[in-house]
Structure 1
Amino acid sequence: MTNHVTQQRIQADLQVKASIEPQYEIEARVDFLCSQMIETGQHALVLGISGGVDSTVAGRLAQLAVEKARDKGVDARFYALRLPYGEQKDEDHAQQALTFITPDEVLDINVKPASDALLASLEEGGLTFQDAVQRDFVLGNIKARQRMVAQYAVAGAKSGLVVGTDQAAEALMGFFTKYGDGACDLVPLTGLTKGQVREVGAALGAPAILVEKQPTADLESLKPQLADEEALGVTYTEIDAFLTGQQVSEQAYTTITNTYQRTDHKRQLPRTP
């Protein structure tokens, strides 16, 4: 199978368009969130806000969706959650995102006590690690899953649906924690490349500092604010080019396709006999 054919297949699987009209995407995705809430009989949307462009854009779409639902007579609300592990180094960006989103309600939930307690219990129960790096990696995934536990707790209390922030670039690279930030009910950024998310963010009027911010999952305590691109071994420019059918270097192509294959289990439902 040629490189181009492989790219086309993956592009179709991840529902990527070569180019977008941002205003159309805004309206379509707001409509999606609103209709899903109404059809399921739920009355709230819940999303963790980190200060990155993905959660900023998804958060604003969620707020617009509940406002549209209220116009239709539905008593709907958007709950924006701050979910720091202790003190977040770029907390100012998270606060700027909240100011832009103007959510109906904000809940501030520190996931550090629960995350640390679980890791301690695991070690007390006999779990050992190869080294400090592996221990930190496991803790990072615990943080992501504790954040999702918190979001579903709020959703359960408020009859809501949890909104995810996954977009096509992260889906391609499997760059999310399984049953952590990868667990959600609605994924409004599906099919958008990283660059297209930025386009939508700019069209929504999000602060430029957030739209152009260097992405970081910020899960590793030993490497705080580690850039996604450093962790991935490939740039978002190359990932987006791959997703939109453009030619990329052989090194980028190999890294992307190998990662896509290796992380396939993350994009699938649990397997059965």
Structure 2
Amino acid sequence: MNTASSRSSEIRSALQVNPDLKGSAEIKQEIERRIEFIKNTLRSSRTRALVLGISGGVDSTTGGKLCQMAVESLRQEGYDASFYAMRLPYGVQMDEHDAQAALDFIKPDQVRTVDIKGAVDALMQDFASEQADAAKRDFVKGNVKARTRMVAQYTLANFVNGLVVGTDHAAEAVMGFFTKFGDGACDLAPLTGLVKDQVRSIAAELNAPADLVKKVPTADLEELEPGRPDEDAHGVAYEQIDAFLLGEPVDEDAARKIVKQYDATEHKRQLPAAP
């Protein structure tokens, strides 16, 4: 019988998921592989910096630490490179303490802060006459926040001859849980193919603070529901998403939701349509 679960293998392959990445030895090897990927990407592009926004979540904490380790390794090899961590709050971030804890852990070469509130509010004011209910306006504004953050990161990258790093991974990619040309825009995505628990395992292996490793994921873009957990938006728990991507047993209703979202967001994972 053709079920949603039967598409797990196809989707796992498309998103480059490795179900065998489990034990400590494999995690350590994967850390080294991804650091080498970052180093090779920077060196081959002839750029000298990496830029990444740090939110205080496990994804950017993990990506940021890998970036810092990569540039430190490059410098030891005689290639001048730096990592710029960016704080990109909209006004005051409610979990700013987590972002600061992430920075303390990463110990980036440089920290730059840009408050995106003025730019976001100005753009939304230009569209004040658009007919939309409060929920729609809040959704649009959330996407504007994500895209404004990426504009800021590319602005800094231009100044420092750098590349912008993304934090998308398989558990987000399968759900299309990113803003097109917002947090989905980047020059390299070193967490590609990882499920959420694998990201957490890498963070733990790197000795990230336990409360950041276990933190409930939230994009925190919506003002009507501040701090809304990602899983509420998905309608599926990350444990179920991970299990689906790893080819493990998963409730068929959850599998249907995942496949439906994967198909509906296919356009977000593709290059622009062309004739």
Q: Matches of 2:254 and 2:10 in 1, distance apart? A: 17
Q: Matches of 1:238 and 1:271 in 2, distance apart? A: 31
Report SS of the residue matched to 2:125: helix
TM-score by length of 1: 0.97
Alignment correspondent of 1:18: 19
Alignment correspondent of 1:213: 215
1:40-79 residue pairs with structure 2 within 5 A? 40-79=45-84
Alignment correspondent of 1:235: 237
**Residues 48, 161 of structure 2: 8 Å contact kept:** yes
Q: Matches of 1:5 and 1:157 in 2, distance apart? A: 48
Alignment correspondent of 2:9: 8
Q: Matches of 1:73 and 1:128 in 2, distance apart? A: 57
Q: Is the deviation greater in 160-169 or in 244-253?
A: 244-253
Query: Pick from 206, 214, 228: which aligns with 1:226?
Result: 228
Alignment correspondent of 1:96: 101
Report SS of the residue matched to 1:271: coil
Counting aligned pairs with the same residue, the percent is: 56
Partner deviation per Cα, 1:146-186 (whole Å, 9 max, x = no partner):
00000000000000000000000000000000000000000
Query: Pick from 256, 271, 274: which aligns with 1:272?
Result: 274
Count of aligned residue pairs for this structure pair? 270
The one-letter amino acid of 1:111's match is I
Q: Matches of 1:4 and 1:180 in 2, distance apart? A: 30
Partner deviation per Cα, 1:184-219 (whole Å, 9 max, x = no partner):
000000010000000000000100000000000000
Q: Matches of 2:182 and 2:76 in 1, distance apart? A: 33
Partner deviation per Cα, 1:94-136 (whole Å, 9 max, x = no partner):
000000000000001101110010000122xx4221x111100
Alignment correspondent of 2:196: 194
Query: Pick from 239, 248, 255: which aligns with 2:250?
Result: 248
Q: Matches of 2:180 and 2:65 in 1, distance apart? A: 25
Report SS of the residue matched to 1:248: coil
**Residues 5, 250 of structure 2: 8 Å contact kept:** no
Q: Matches of 2:18 and 2:4 in 1, distance apart? A: 18
The one-letter amino acid of 1:9's match is E
TM-score by length of 2: 0.97
Query: Pick from 125, 130, 133: which aligns with 1:127?
Result: 130
Unaligned residue ranges in structure 2 (runs of 5+): none
Alignment correspondent of 1:182: 184
Report SS of the residue matched to 1:173: coil
**Residues 4, 259 of structure 2: 8 Å contact kept:** no
1:108-147 residue pairs with structure 2 within 5 A? 108-123=113-128, 126-129=129-132, 131-147=133-149
Unaligned residue ranges in structure 1 (runs of 5+): none
Q: Matches of 1:81 and 1:147 in 2, distance apart? A: 9
Q: Is the deviation greater in 170-179 or in 1-10?
A: 1-10
Alignment correspondent of 1:160: 162
Q: Matches of 1:87 and 1:107 in 2, distance apart? A: 15
CA RMSD of aligned residues (A): 0.9
Q: Matches of 2:6 and 2:136 in 1, distance apart? A: 37
The one-letter amino acid of 2:215's match is K
The alpha-carbon deviation at position 25 of structure 1 amounts to 1.0
Report SS of the residue matched to 2:84: strand
